[in-house]
């Protein structure tokens, strides 16, 4: 398998944790809330899923537990930041630290243990195309996360729910005045974002690299938040960004496999360095950020 085939084969799977968490954060931010706790929410979901799968509960139950657990933790964020109108940056950091701490605490006795991943399912016909066919051999969660991407795009583009969420992010006062509950929608968005971060963590811990290690999320939650900015709050661009980061995180492995003499630490920092560079490039175009940005992002709502 050459380098391109290697990256095509693994890119979508590597992109999935970024994608799921970023889609969740997209919905949260569209509702006007900045939740910086994604890294901790992912870690919490990851450990819950790992414990359940390790004890024979199966992947489905593992994902359900991760989704519910991280949604619950995200609701704690909502109570503090939306209910009590605390600084959203500080609250997100608190929840992030809490989630990472809880994951280390619960995962302590599972350190370095492994579970079985998920089988790959080939898309009929398409998977037989030479070279590119590899893109169509993926596990069930990758297929589902593609469906989720489409569903969230459709929600924002074509449904009233999407419109309400966007209105609340743009102008909460106006949305409140015409009778929508800003607080309730923001709580729901936070819970949804938490569940998606939980799924993302579960994917990392029980499918992508089915082993538990403290700190295994390794900044992916933060990159997911950056992806929302890269994607200028648009679903399709966030998907492309996630694929880019899937490919970047594989480039390290590919370079090592070909025997390239590069320090492994440099390869490990590649996703972070790429994040810094891309963030600079995208943000420098202020008009682009303003165009699709969320007007009330990070501001508490008081009526």
Interaction site with other proteins (CB under 8 A): 36, 40, 76, 79-81, 84-87, 89-91, 93-102, 104-105, 108, 176-177, 179, 181, 214, 218-219, 222-223, 225-226, 229, 263, 265-266, 268-269, 272-273, 275-276, 279-281, 283-284, 286, 289, 302-303
Q: How far is the CB of 107 from other proteins (least distance, A)?
A: 8
Closer residue to other proteins, CB minimum distance, 112 or 265: 265
> At closest approach, how far in Å is the CB of 206 from other proteins?
20
Task: Name which of 9 and 190 has its Cβ closer to other proteins.
Answer: 190
Of 143 and 301, CB closest to other proteins: 301
Question: What gap in Å lies between CA 209 and CA 192, rounded to an integer?
Answer: 24
Tally Cβ neighbours within 10 Å of residue 134.
Answer: 22
Say if CB 213 and CB 43 are below 8 A apart.
no
Closest CB to other proteins among 87 and 258? Answer: 87
* Residues 72, 228, 93, 211, CA torsion sign: positive
């Amino acid at each position: 398998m050459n380098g391109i085939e290697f990256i095509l084969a693994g890119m979508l799977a590597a992109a999935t944790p970024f994608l799921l968490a970023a889609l969740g954060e997209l919905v949260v931010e569209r509702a006007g809330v900045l939740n910086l706790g994604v890294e901790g929410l992912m870690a919490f979901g990851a450990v819950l899923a790992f414990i359940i799968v390790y004890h024979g509960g199966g992947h489905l139950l593992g994902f359900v537990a991760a989704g519910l657990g991280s949604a619950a933790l995200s609701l704690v964020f909502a109570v503090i930041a939306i209910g009590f109108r605390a600084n959203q940056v500080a609250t997100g950091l608190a929840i992030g630290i809490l989630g990472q701490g809880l994951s280390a605490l619960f995962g302590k006795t599972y350190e370095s243990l492994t579970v079985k991943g998920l089988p790959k399912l080939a898309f009929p016909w398409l998977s037989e195309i030479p070279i590119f066919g590899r893109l169509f051999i993926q596990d069930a969660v990758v297929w589902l996360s593609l469906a989720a991407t489409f569903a969230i795009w459709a929600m924002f583009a074509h449904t009233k729910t999407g419109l309400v969420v966007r209105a609340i992010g743009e102008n909460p006062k106006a949305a409140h005045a015409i009778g929508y509950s800003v607080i309730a929608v923001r709580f729901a968005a936070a819970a949804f974002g938490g569940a998606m971060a939980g799924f993302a963590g579960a994917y990392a811990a029980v499918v992508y690299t089915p082993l538990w290690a403290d700190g295994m999320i390794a900044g992916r939650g933060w990159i997911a938040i950056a992806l929302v900015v890269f994607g200028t709050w648009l679903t399709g661009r966030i998907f492309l960004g996630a694929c880019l980061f899937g490919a970047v995180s594989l480039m390290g492995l590919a370079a090592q496999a070909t025997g390239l003499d590069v320090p492994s630490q440099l390869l490990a920092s590649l996703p972070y360095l790429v994040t810094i560079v891309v963030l600079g490039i995208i943000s420098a175009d202020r008009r682009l950020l303003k165009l699709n940005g969320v007007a009330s992002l990070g501001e508490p709502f008081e009526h």
